[in-house]
Structure 1
Amino acid sequence: MAQYQITVDSQLLHQLFLGNSQDSGVAKLLESVLNQVLQAQATEQLGAEPYERTDERQAYRNGTYPHQLTTRVGTITLRVPRIRGGKFSTELFARYQLSEQALVLALMEMVVHGVSTRKVAQITEELCGTEFSKSTVSDLCKRLDPMVTAWNNRPLHASSFPFVIVDALYLKVREEGRVRSRGTLIGIGVNADGYREVLGVMLGDSESEASWSEFFGWLKSRGLKGVDLIVSDDHGGLVRAIRRNFQGVTWQRCQTHFMRNILDATPKSLQDEIHSRIRPIL
């Protein structure tokens, strides 16, 4: 392990022991020590001190750039050396980078489970003691996009799905600077072993026959096969798209939607009784 000679400013010690905030004094001391370590590592890699002329010199310093590091005692600013004609490398941030990756994964998991970016920002501020804006959380979670895209376009050839359930969910989507409602077409397959699997998700302008036909064509192009029964609500465009794209396949009306349609047309005082009578029939 390399050893470095570190000097401590007396004013920093005074601030550490006599200052109003002990954490602030520790942060300043830590910042000073780590900046000296970075300069010492730069000297090692260059083979020369600043302004020193030696035959062993590998390259030249080219100033520094600021790098903020969030620690348990506060946020400190490090001056990372630049090297002309080369690249400065340090293991100083390795532990921090691992912690940062763990934080990013935690942020992603919260978003996947439906936590809003505003709430995620509040949670991370409480946990880390530093502020994360909604835009920062959104930018971090953009790393999910390629993973979700790869999953949503995965091949389906490996299994047959005798039973398929399709439905649409309407979500608020931000597009071109404004929020609009978009239909999210969802397909769920049940394989021969009885396990359910989300086959794919696609945004559509509406639940039209054209949108559903595009969705079914996309699933088949990825290898959807062996379909015997499709369950959905009785939306006209959806039913026509099923019959056009899956000839000979049995269609069944979704019992949940059917029950909901019946109760919507039932007086509120009779809904519980009607529900209790229809459920055993289904």
Structure 2
Amino acid sequence: MLTVVNSNEGSNPAGEDRSILDQIVRDGARQMLAAALRAEVAAYIDQFTDQVDENGHRLVVRNGSHNEREVMTAAGAVAVKAPRVNDKRVDPDTGERQRFSSKILPAWARKSPEISAVLPLLYLHGLSTGDFGPALEQFLGSGAGLSAATISRLTAQWQKEAAAFADRDITADYVYVWVDGIHLKVRLEQEKLCLLVMIGVRADGRKELIALADGYRESTESWADLLRSCKRRGMPSPTLAVGDGALGFWAGVREVFPESREQRCWFHKQANVLAALPKSAHPNAIKAMQEIYNAEDEQHARQAIAAFEKTYGAKYPKAVAKIVDDTDVLLEFYRYPAEHWIHLRTTNPIESTFATVRLRTKVTKG
């Protein structure tokens, strides 16, 4: 179930990484749903193994699969082939044939609040913690017709694969890595999750989800644990790491991979600066910050920072200090090929991936 997804866009080694997590989450959600549907059908058929016709043939059997259909999830549409049941039993009162009806995914359903918002999050939670049990018990529970033993079997299968993913060899050289701590709320328990995410791109342009772990966004130790695990499995020091300045990641990476260079995320930095300014100043301040990170080279970017300081320094010194104090790590991206700059300035590859998941989770909150 767990795979490393590679992109073959070798011409752009810092290209858009949004598809990496999207594809992983969609594939994980698809396989979790397919396995749950198979288990549901198997449990249904097992109830009637003793019912046979006059020739000794079982009345309830598996009969291939329905046509593939797309089901919407918070990670996008996933294609699912639901198993088909041939139920030859007849209702003695009405004379009508009995029919199997899935409680997980009813016939013709294209979207379900539980599947749409929750299943991808449960997959991510299981992947990050290595424990699919609690989530599956809530999602599949008794209402889905699955026994505790069936849920335990599915849990064991997925946790084994999660362990293989977490222990896989990662000896490849990663030129760039993007890191962030993503807060997601699984509404079944109203439990707020923080997923520590690290995406990397190799020198040949292949992009991968390197690591995903449960932890605390601002905790140095949480990030250091993740990085130590990567190092134990062969990961060398990445050339450049991109992330929000508030992350505990930076102290962790200086301990584990001290050779890595640092780039602060302009998306987060801009939000922090605006928080220290009155709303009336926001439009012009945004334009002034764009002049910095869109400058043609580092020299012009530093000149734009000086202009920003001159304009806002007297009235809003705290806002200006947020940029001036981090000048070097905000402009680090200028050391790399110009075609990579747009991708190295922010952690947008991670942010954009989870934006839809978080939005749809809020919309379907019950």
TM-score (norm 2): 0.42
Candidates 170, 193, 196, aligned match of 1:156? 170
The answer to whether the aligner puts 1:276 opposite 2:280 as a matched pair is: no
Q: What is the Cα deviation at residue 178 of structure 1?
A: 5.1
CA contact (8 A) 2:176 2:201 kept: yes
Q: What is the Cα deviation at residue 156 of structure 1?
A: 1.1
Deviation string 1:25-58 (CA, Å, 9 cap, x unpaired) is xxxxxxxxxxxxxxxxxxxxxxxxxxxxxxxxxx
Q: What is the Cα deviation at residue 78 of structure 1?
A: 8.3
Candidates 81, 85, 107, aligned match of 2:50? 81
With over 3 angstroms needed to count, the CA separation of the structure-2 counterparts of 1:79 and 1:242, relative to structure 1, is: closer
With over 3 angstroms needed to count, the CA separation of the structure-2 counterparts of 1:67 and 1:213, relative to structure 1, is: closer
Candidates 206, 209, 225, aligned match of 1:214? 225
C-alpha distance in 2 between matches for 1:200 and 1:183? 13
C-alpha distance in 2 between matches for 1:256 and 1:91? 61
Q: What is the Cα deviation at residue 152 of structure 1?
A: 4.2
C-alpha distance in 1 between matches for 2:266 and 2:60? 60
**Mapping of residues 217-232 of structure 1, within 5 Å:** 217-232=228-243
Deviation string 1:177-203 (CA, Å, 9 cap, x unpaired) is 954323211111111023332111000
Deviation string 1:67-93 (CA, Å, 9 cap, x unpaired) is 857xxxxxxx9843389xxxx997973
**Which of the two has higher C-alpha Rg?**
1
With over 3 angstroms needed to count, the CA separation of the structure-2 counterparts of 1:205 and 1:277, relative to structure 1, is: closer
Deviation string 1:236-271 (CA, Å, 9 cap, x unpaired) is 633211211112221121122112211222222332
Number of equivalences:
192
CA contact (8 A) 2:199 2:207 kept: yes
C-alpha distance in 1 between matches for 2:165 and 2:216? 22
C-alpha distance in 2 between matches for 1:163 and 1:81? 60
The answer to whether the aligner puts 1:127 opposite 2:108 as a matched pair is: yes
Residue 204 of structure 1 aligns with an amino acid whose one-letter code is G
C-alpha distance in 1 between matches for 2:264 and 2:284? 22
Q: What is the Cα deviation at residue 204 of structure 1?
A: 1.0
Candidates 179, 200, 204, aligned match of 2:211? 200
Q: Indicate the residue corresponding to 1:13 in structure 2.
A: none
In terms of fraction of residues, the more strand-rich structure is 1
Secondary structure (helix, strand or coil) at the match of 2:291 reads: helix
With over 3 angstroms needed to count, the CA separation of the structure-2 counterparts of 1:172 and 1:145, relative to structure 1, is: farther
C-alpha distance in 2 between matches for 1:193 and 1:67? 47
C-alpha distance in 2 between matches for 1:122 and 1:276? 53
CA contact (8 A) 1:125 1:132 kept: no
Deviation string 1:129-169 (CA, Å, 9 cap, x unpaired) is 9x998533995985655545533443212x21021111101
Q: Which moved more, 1:235-244 or 1:193-202?
A: 235-244
Q: What is the Cα deviation at residue 207 of structure 1?
A: 2.5
C-alpha distance in 2 between matches for 1:237 and 1:270? 30
Secondary structure (helix, strand or coil) at the match of 2:49 reads: strand
Residue 63 of structure 2 aligns with an amino acid whose one-letter code is R
**Mapping of residues 60-79 of structure 1, within 5 Å:** 68=44, 79=48
Which sections of structure 2, spanning at least 5 residues, go unmatched?
A: 1-41, 79-101, 115-138, 294-366
With over 3 angstroms needed to count, the CA separation of the structure-2 counterparts of 1:184 and 1:82, relative to structure 1, is: same
CA contact (8 A) 2:51 2:58 kept: no
With over 3 angstroms needed to count, the CA separation of the structure-2 counterparts of 1:89 and 1:246, relative to structure 1, is: farther
C-alpha distance in 2 between matches for 1:80 and 1:224? 52
Q: Indicate the residue corresponding to 2:179 in structure 1.
A: 166
Deviation string 1:83-126 (CA, Å, 9 cap, x unpaired) is 9xxxx997973424x349x68xx67x8475499xxxxx999335
Residue 108 of structure 2 aligns with an amino acid whose one-letter code is L
With over 3 angstroms needed to count, the CA separation of the structure-2 counterparts of 1:200 and 1:141, relative to structure 1, is: same
Residue 247 of structure 1 aligns with an amino acid whose one-letter code is P
Which sections of structure 1, spanning at least 5 residues, go unmatched?
A: 1-65, 70-76, 116-120
The answer to whether the aligner puts 1:248 opposite 2:248 as a matched pair is: no
